[in-house]
Structure 1
Amino acid sequence: MIPNTHSLSIINNSSRPKNEQAAHAERLGYYAQAKRLWGQVIVESKKDSLLRHCASIRRAFCESAIKNGYKRPELRL
């Protein structure tokens, strides 16, 4: 999937929930941006421990993806 203008507008739309933005950025392979957004979800989800836990797992995945240069198979060209 090649990112288009609409896909990028979802990530940059501040009216959307941060977890939606982060998931979309991760799906498009923007792991640095997804990691930052998942970090914000962790901070903002003080009362929702399940969301905080899931966000921390996905943030760790993004951090590992950045460190290891991972590219989603469908995004490799």
Structure 2
Amino acid sequence: MAKRKAKPDKSICVACGVCSLQCPRGAIQIYKGCHAVVDPIKCVGCGICYNACPANAISMIEGGVKNGIE
């Protein structure tokens, strides 16, 4: 069974940091004040960031990102 992972859309993200503050695993950081990035190793797919994002810039995808920080 595939695991869900958070995937921010860099073109929509406003770098407000709400997702980062809400993430219980510390899996989301704001990259250079521009957009959110998710550490796929730390992300457990809980969806808290998805529900918290005021810009609707986060999707929950099946299987997540295979390599590296997305």
Q: TM-score higher than 0.5 here?
A: no
More strand by share: 2
The TM-score with structure 2 as length reference comes to: 0.34
Structure showing greater Rg: 1
The TM-score with structure 1 as length reference comes to: 0.32
More helix by share: 1
